[in-house]
Structure 1
Amino acid sequence: MNYEARMFGGEERLALTGEGEKRSRRKWWIIAAVIALVVIVAAWVAFASGGAGDKADPAKAGAANGGQGGDRQLPTVTVAIPGRNTIASVITGTGSLAARREMPVGVAGEGGMVTRVLVEPGDWVAAGQVLATVDRSVQSQTAQSQAASIRVAQADLSIAQAELDRSQQLLSRGFVSKADIDRKTATRDAAAARVRVAQSQLSETQARNRRLDIRSPAAGLVLTRSVEPGQIISSGSGALFRVAQGGQMELRTQLSEADLHRIPAGARAEVNPVGMDEVFTGEVWQVSPIIDPQTRQGIARIALSFDKALRPGGFASARIMAGGAVAPLLPQSAIQSDAKGNFVYILNAKNEAERRGVTTGEVSDAGVAITSGLAGSERVVITAGAFLNPGQKVIPNLTTLKR
């Protein structure tokens, strides 16, 4: 019995010990759950009170964030006041350089063999200066013969005049009749006529001989030479020399029909030959009166002063100043477009974006001219205009436009 009692007592103790451990575990689980619940409630209360405080007083919330909490959600845009600028209307074109007045010089007389060529391309010549000479040995002999004929005719005239004078002295004495006087007068007049004929023939021959000299019709610059000594030339030989009158050059630029209507005679132009950095100043002296029906283009001729760098046949570009206007000038980034047309955004006194329809004009490296829609005193959104909506409030960043 004692043994059994001891056995049962040990089992009871073991059972009591297991129950205590289970109770201890439940206790800790309950404590942990309570702590978690308290933390969750505290966090929710703190979040709710903070949100209510921001909604109740946004000014204080903004002050707590350094005074700009409300503006941090507004976009910042760059704006500028364009003012009004004098904008030159510039028309660009390309073309070929040429002599303004190119004079082809050929054979004016009967021609012959060239004996001398006195000039080279690039030489300056005066009006009437001899460029080349043609052999005139035969023509010189003809001139000498005609000069001798004049002297013979003059001798005959002297004899006829002397006989007439003597007959007139004898007429008063009755030794000659009136008929004799008339005959001698006629002989004298015929001799005088033969003198004049001989003189005219000599003058004609001398004029023909002078035409054997190839002369420049006006002062200018020799452009080309296509004759050499020993060459046989005639009136059908074509141009032997080409001379630029006064050395004046021009650029013949091809322009569209619309551009030609905008260019007045006398408009200033800048010409830049290909391969050169130098720019030459000239003026439009003639606008083509006709338009090519195939290309719908015409020619504007820009007069240029002589310069060795300007070579006829060369290629050049031109900028023609076709007038000017006073208007606001904006960069391309400020111009927006939609189905209603071109527009810009301007800011009102509340820094709110307002749409303003505009009409654009001349486009250049400096910007886009606004011909209507802006006075020039508005604050115009330069960048980020594509992301704005009418009435949207923004933070303006004022800048100065570069010209």
Structure 2
Amino acid sequence: MKQKSILFLTTQLPYPPVSGGVIKTYKLLQFFSEEYELHLISLLKNDDENHAEAFLKQITKLFSHYFFPLNKPRSTGNLIKSYFKQMPLNVYRNFSPQLKDEVHKRAEGKDILFIDHFEMFQYVPEHFSGKIIFHEHNAEFLLWQRYAELLPLDTRKIAVQIEANRILKKELQYCRKADLIFAAPNDIKALTEKGADKNKFRPTYHLGNDNLLTLPDIEYEHTKPKLLFLGTLSWEANKKSVIWFLENCWSAILQHKPETTFEIVGKNADEELKNIVNEHSNVFLRGFVENLEEVMQDTRVMISPLVFGSGIKVKNLDALYRGIPLVTTGVGAEGLKLESNENCLIADNSEDFTQKVIMLLEKQPLWEKIKTNSRALARKEYTWHNELHKMKKEMECFFGS
């Protein structure tokens, strides 16, 4: 039987695969290239062009690829242009008439269009005869809506809320046009509550580095009183969560246990975050770290104090894989089978978050329990092998094998 042909559209080159969404896209391409006749169209952002050759050496079974450099910054000027084009800002920032023409040519005769990210759905040809799969990395409107809720009542809050509404309108339009939609369970709930057809959705997860499960357990006595945060710091939700923790929890933790240190690992920290870090004792901004085991092996507590966001938080999965007890928020726990006091600790205000961090720093029996249960949960529920084969099965059941 002839392999089905897939044209896969994504917003950036998924290489090197070092952050949540990029890892998911890379794993999908790796898997689909073995199972289908796979054709790729990818935008190139920032320094993506420098990694294109290395990427193609890793994904060797692509039938064709087309890379298109496009960099439109998030700016007031582009926001205004997006209003004239009647597009949400991030849709406009990923739009090119030239690329639209190329997609139309390359989509002809394909069985499936796989749309990776909300911003790429705009390229679906109006009269495409095959099936359309929409892979939602986040419920995009919810990211903006939650961010608006955190802002003081001023023109910026109003602008962000307007953008959330524009995104929601477009997101629901795309959901109506798609034949099958993969999204995280919490994002499925958010979108169906706004009117998207729940019958089109199938749950999926953004997983992390499940190879961490092969490493031996970390022993309590080999750790230091050290906290660790992982995440790309150009993402506003990560930046704001680190700032919230430093401004609301850190001094109380140091007062109780002065030898505690806090390492922040992630690229693209801006000057605002660097300045805030410099105002606090025992806090270290490590930047990008290629081998995370270097910073994980002596860490006693992982923190993920997210105050807004959507989708699956890969940093939390990496804590589960490595067996480092995690303190997160309700937002951070969304979409995962996390249970406070069983496989993590969950807190949604600064006092509770502070106390739960201190508990894990000092109470070895609780630490051991969370470590053991978190790795068991990850092994059972969150491996790439199971996730990718589950997606393939859903696709074949829906469209016919």
Tell me if both proteins adopt one fold, taking TM over 0.5 as the criterion: no
Pick 1 or 2: higher relative contact order, CA cutoff 8 A, min separation 6.
1
TM-score by length of 2: 0.18
TM-score by length of 1: 0.18
Considering fraction of residues, name the structure with more helix: 2
Considering fraction of residues, name the structure with more strand: 1
